[in-house]
Amino acid sequence: MTIKPYWSEGSLWSSLLLAGIVAVAVDVHADEAASRPVATRHQMMKECMAKQKASDAGLSKEQMKKNCRDVTETEHENAKADKKSADQR
């Protein structure tokens, strides 16, 4: 009497191959995120102002600048933190 294993050899290899592909994909994604350059504050400010103007929320230019300064500062700090954590890996 032979006992059949729960996993067949073919399904075991397929599972291992899939796990390997997923591990490589995750590693590649992490490397791409770490290699992206951090945008300058000036670039972030320009992009934010363009978005504010496109939204046509009826804000004054000074209010848009204030909103963008806040957003830019937060994004810049987050990008620096992400880069620092990626460098530590």
| 31 and 47, same domain (yes or no) | no
Amino acid at 21: I
Number of domains in the chain: 2
pLDDT tens-digit map of 18-59 = 677 777 667 665 555 555 666 788 888 898 889 888 887 788
| 53 and 65, same domain (yes or no) | yes
Instruction: Check residue 59 and give its pLDDT.
Output: 85
Least confident of 8-17, 20-29, 63-72: 8-17
| 44 and 80, same domain (yes or no) | yes
| 42 and 21, same domain (yes or no) | no
| 85 and 45, same domain (yes or no) | yes
Evaluate if pTM is beyond 0.75. no
Higher-confidence residue of 66 and 83: namely 66
| 62 and 23, same domain (yes or no) | no
The DSSP code sequence of 50-88 is HHHHHHT----HHHHHHHHHHHHHHHHHHHHHHHHHHHH
Task: Give the rounded distance of the alpha carbon of 39 from its chain centre.
Answer: 14
- Is the confidence at residue 13, as pLDDT, over 70? no
For the chain, count helices (H), then strands (E): 3, 0
Residue 2: Cβ-neighbour burial (10 angstroms; 0-12, 13-18, 19+): exposed
| 47 and 24, same domain (yes or no) | no
- What's the domain range around 56? 38-89
